[in-house]
Amino acid sequence: MAGTITWEYFLKCTDELLRISDIIHDDWVGRGSKNIAGSYYLAKTTKRSCMIVKENHEVADYLEDLELERHETDNESVSTNARDRASEWEYHVLYNISYSVPVLYFNACFSDGSLFSLEQLWQLLSYNFKGALEPQKWSVLTQQEHPVLGRPFFQLHPCRTAKFLEIFEGCSSNLLITWLSSVGPLVGLELPLQYSHHHHHKNYTHTETSKGILQDSVVNHSQIHLL
């Protein structure tokens, strides 16, 4: 079926991503068993310091994508309150057997261990994405049981991923990295450009024809890594 990938291709792509990650020290690791389809996944954990103002128990503002170490060493003016709102983000890339596509699971918690709620996470999304996705936000960002770990995780629903992958079939030698570099920024996961620099690649800019499809498939508006 167009836009879908096999378990074997998924494993090949994860091996390549891990190889590049090791070179550039991007901290991805592989977990689980490769012998059972859907049981092996990529994982990465990052720490960020966030500044949150609550109104009616909801998040009103969020200082995103600033790593905790950067605050502690490079920005002495950051308030104690901001540091107290440190957060940890855990990202997992799995293979969805039903849809035959990759799927991104993630969790985020504050320094006291409390998890972000679904409403809080949505409010933290970049406004570049929020406008295009607002009408379908609850179907795009959902909470599901992690298929390997068996505990609640948030996920970007994979129902439209095949449509996205179909666009890049024949253009990318690693559809997993191409897909992840596009959907990851929606939830604060950025892939360094070195993932494309380690291969012969070409730059891709959305055309007006594909732009609507890509927005509908939950992707960003920035450059996509084609390998």
Q: Clarify whether 171 is annotated catalytic.
A: no
Distance of CA 216 to the CA centre of its chain: 16
Dihedral angle computed from the Cα positions of residues 8, 1, 137 and 113, in that order, rounded to the nearest 10 degrees: -10
Residue 42 near residue 14, CB atoms below 8 Å? yes
Which of 13, 50, 159, 171 is the catalytic position? 159
3-state helix, strand, coil in the chain (%, to 5): 40, 25, 35
Residue 166 CA to residue 170 CA, distance in Å, equals 9
Residue 223 near residue 201, CB atoms below 8 Å? no
Cα separation values, 154 from 87, 100, 140, Å: 16, 19, 10
Residue 191 CA to residue 174 CA, distance in Å, equals 14
Catalytic residue annotation: 159
